Chain A
Amino acid sequence: MLRALDGVSFDLSPGAFLTIFGANGAGKTTLLNILSGLTRPTSGTAIVAGHDATRGDPHLMKKIGVISHASCLYADLSPLENLVFYARMYGLEDPEDTAVKAIERVGLKARIHDRVRTFSRGMLQRLSIARATLHDPEVLFLDEPFTGLDPRASSQLKEYLRALHTGHRTILMTTHDISCGLEMSDRVAVQVKGRFAFLEHIDNVEKNGFEKMYLEMMG
């Protein structure tokens, strides 16, 4: 058997913000896919927001939101149509109203009827946040959210993430961006070849030392 993940084990209390660093192919996306119930692991357990993620339980999906490099939005539909569709999929009351409010929250009201295809990367990412938080999830998974964003868009994204975190959501993020990850989170981990090589509270991490250690681990 080939293992993408091996012996990864951790607990996260509600409201925590964990950032996982790691090279491409370290198994970060696999980990997030398992935690969000997309991939069924061959062995092991994953309890997320009180639900077994390895079972493909629809109730779990109501409690988690996922933002990845893929926007998961239909390019030929407008933001409104996209979010109304997702609101209906989540079974929310009054999909129209919920969608409009979510779009307002990420500041895209002016473009509410334009096609998503015409959006910039930063706008897509914001709309993607609106999509992932439409149903007010307890836990957020962010898979390399900063990839492909210009500095302005990425500082805006940080702001949104902070706002989401102070709303007492548990957040789990993967990224390559060390300074960004250290700045945002209260716990950091390094994943190497499918294992957690490092897992610490942010208070015990010193930035320069961490960077050096991270590069060493990457070889």
Chain B
Amino acid sequence: MDHLGFLFAANVFVWGGILLYIFTLKKRQQALRKDLELLKASLNKDSES
């Protein structure tokens, strides 16, 4: 009657989903930061030359 499997599955989905979302957010942010740094560096080089 307790259906612990279902409770477990629901937990996996909820917390897994939230963590996955946070993880993708972090990834996206890191990738963008890197792009930004590269861009800034190339801009600085341009203005120097």
| A touches B in complex, CB < 8 A | no
Query: Residues of B with Cβ closer than 8 Å to A?
Result: none
